[in-house]
Structure 1
Amino acid sequence: MSKPHGRGHVEGLPDWDRCAVMGVVNVTPDSFSDGGRWFDTTAAVKHGLDLVAQGADLVDVGGESTRPGATRVDEAEELRRVIPVVRGLASEGVTVSVDTMRARVAEQALAAGALLVNDVSGGLADPAMIPVVAEAGAPFVVMHWRGFSEDMNSLAVYEDVVGEVLAELRVRLDAVVEGGIAPERIVVDPGLGFAKNAEHDLALVAHMRELRALGYPVLVAASRKRFLGRVLAAPGATPPPARERDAATAAVSAIAAHEGAWAVRVHEVRATADAVRVARAVEGAVSPPRPARAGADPQHPHPNPEGAR
């Protein structure tokens, strides 16, 4: 089957007529922007439902921080954090994504009702991931990734960030398809902030069309990331904290939606939900017909062909 084009439909997920909004639920004590706020299962499920009420189309549940420098949690702890939240949200009819690099977590999350696996390593961190997702027939996010959080800053070295990210994504996408995941179930993510500095992230946002030219729906996850803090800070000033970057996030969401992104992943949903809906309205706007001048004959729109005054 041929690969999808344009904004794209992802087989196995609802079909939205605009850029979708993926809300984030971090069931972690140490995520960079909201670590600890939703660590309790009941609080996490409530937060996910609140995000849907604010306009999220799907909710991404993760139990392991991937901020730069973060150390990994063990599998048992990740399962303990994630599975009850996935089950609770899915039981309420929420379209749930699981944010994990572990095959066993993905497998159990899918069994608990998740519909999408969002693996920031694109299947590189756990060799069992691709077979598990292929066997389940689940949609899969392939993100550009060069290494674990502890090492990612040292890996942010590029001569041509757009060209190199595209080339590395092509290699990974080919491997994922060869591993049995159907092309129509694949989403691509440029991996903003992962082994990239602010200039790299901005260049990738500016070249969304090249990312779309890979032929897969594109997920953009810019929410509250360091590059937005760098943009907002005056020269030499300290960047604003993560939770003060939501307006900047909504700006990137509008740009991504305008450039044809399939979805944007955000912590604060309401502003981005408004942004993508405005972008869709602008796309769908049609110039109104120009009204005829009073007294004009529609068959002869210029009543003074000789130019009489």
Structure 2
Amino acid sequence: MSVIYLKACGFVDHPQFHDGATRRLAGTMLWFSQVEIYYKDAEGAFHRNLINITEFEQYIKILPAELQPKAKVQMAHICTPRPPIKMGDRIINLDQPRVMGILNMTPDSFSDGGAVDDDIGLALQAAVDMTANGAAIIDVGGESTRPNAKLLWEGDEIKRVQPIIEKLSATGAAISIDSRKSAVMQAALGAGARMINDISALLYDDNSIDIARHNDVPVVLMHAPSQSSNPHKNDGYDNVLFDVFDWLEKRVDEVIAAGVPRERICIDPGLGFGKSLSDNLTIINNLALFHAIGCPILFGASRKRMIGALSNEAAADNRLGGSIYLAMKAVEQGAHILRVHDVAETIQSIHVWRGLRDAALTARAE
């Protein structure tokens, strides 16, 4: 079967000096001058080419006929600005990177289990601090999904998340519920959450997609190799980058067909879920590929095991440097939302990056 993938590359600091030779990436503050094209023809031969933007229209004319429409659609997705995320009365623009702060109401999460546990006052203060430091969204979770974590009964999960969401909602914060269970989603939305972040991409629970559609809220569809009680179960990949891309593209199409519009869908490649260190690094190095799906990209590498694996097995609470670097690697490929534990430090990094971009985009020719 013939397949094709387009990835923006050749990023340019000063697009204002190169009229017609660059395009803007998905409405972000990045402009690119080249596109890397990977395709497999009907005979199974694999091709990989690097094309200047100025040559793209001519190049696609020599592609196999069955691939030309898909190439045009992917390029349109890469260049189309992502609409703002609407979370109730809150509007979150995606023209620059936004931060989602993690609030785990769990005793056993891999990096901060028990940090707030069931202390509502402590949890509320942590969330308020994150919003004060610049978090656009607070992602509240009540079940650990680390490897070998036990499945939690939905009633217990609701008891963990509902009270803090009610308190936090009263502050006006934009709140996401991190859950794969429809009953938890509904309880959280009733308490004031206005986004669903589901590691199973609305597949674990058959009722989840109805909850998302009927409540008219944005959803994050994450890739995991299994939507069973163990999201890390993996039978292997042929090519992790293209396998994850294909899975997310197909799932986005299915969710749209089920009645959730594209403008309410974000995608997450699911770093660390059933993926080796090599798999994770491949996805991060090629994150820009996922713009071709046409949805905002959420990136979550904060404190993950890969950082420890690359830094002398640093403990989860000692991975700030690696977390910041990976976040900014994602920003420099156009990630729209960063899901992080360390909000203040990530926001500071984004501010410095934004200063550099502003200076580059307003520079004048000598």
Question: Per the shorter chain, which TM-score range?
Answer: 0.7 to 0.9
2:279 aligned partner: 200
* 1:1-309 equivalent positions in 2, closer than 5 A: 5-6=80-81, 8-12=83-87, 13-39=91-117, 40-147=119-226, 151-155=230-234, 157-233=236-312, 239-286=313-360, 288-289=363-364
- Residues in 2 aligned to 1:283 and 1:183: alpha-carbon distance in whole angstroms: 29
- Residues in 2 aligned to 1:154 and 1:133: alpha-carbon distance in whole angstroms: 26
Measured after TM superposition, the shift of residue 84 of structure 1 is 0.8
Contact in 2 for aligned 1:221/1:264 (Cα 8 Å): yes
How many residue pairs are counted as aligned between the two chains?
A: 285
Contact in 2 for aligned 1:7/1:260 (Cα 8 Å): no
- Residues in 1 aligned to 2:355 and 2:81: alpha-carbon distance in whole angstroms: 17
Q: Secondary structure at the match of 1:61?
A: strand
Measured after TM superposition, the shift of residue 163 of structure 1 is 0.4
- Tell me the amino acid that sits aligned with residue 113 of structure 1: G
Range that drifts further, 49-58 or 279-288: 279-288
Contact in 1 for aligned 2:303/2:317 (Cα 8 Å): yes
Measured after TM superposition, the shift of residue 206 of structure 1 is 0.7
Contact in 2 for aligned 1:7/1:261 (Cα 8 Å): no
The 1:154–1:77 alpha-carbon spacing in structure 2 relative to 1, beyond 3 Å, is: closer
Contact in 2 for aligned 1:133/1:181 (Cα 8 Å): yes
- Tell me the amino acid that sits aligned with residue 103 of structure 2: V
- Residues in 1 aligned to 2:345 and 2:137: alpha-carbon distance in whole angstroms: 16
Q: Deviations over 1:256-303 (max 9, x none)?
A: 112111100011111111122222222222364466xxxxxxxxxxxx
- Residues in 2 aligned to 1:125 and 1:179: alpha-carbon distance in whole angstroms: 16
Contact in 1 for aligned 2:225/2:232 (Cα 8 Å): no
Q: Deviations over 1:24-62 (max 9, x none)?
A: 000001000111111122211111111112221111000
- Residues in 2 aligned to 1:179 and 1:68: alpha-carbon distance in whole angstroms: 31
Range that drifts further, 42-51 or 281-290: 281-290
Q: Alignment RMSD, CA only?
A: 1.9
Q: Deviations over 1:164-211 (max 9, x none)?
A: 000111121111111111110000000000111111111111111111
- Residues in 1 aligned to 2:139 and 2:116: alpha-carbon distance in whole angstroms: 13
Contact in 2 for aligned 1:68/1:149 (Cα 8 Å): no
Contact in 2 for aligned 1:221/1:265 (Cα 8 Å): yes
The 1:140–1:152 alpha-carbon spacing in structure 2 relative to 1, beyond 3 Å, is: closer
Q: Deviations over 1:215-244 (max 9, x none)?
A: 1000001010011111112xxxxx111011
Q: Secondary structure at the match of 1:279?
A: helix
Q: Secondary structure at the match of 1:98?
A: strand
The structure that has the greater radius of gyration is 1
- Please, what TM-score do these two structures have when normalized by structure 1? 0.87
- Residues in 2 aligned to 1:91 and 1:102: alpha-carbon distance in whole angstroms: 24
More strand by share: 2
Percent of aligned pairs sharing the same letter: 35
- Please, what TM-score do these two structures have when normalized by structure 2? 0.74
Where do 4+ consecutive residues of structure 1 move more than 6 Å? none
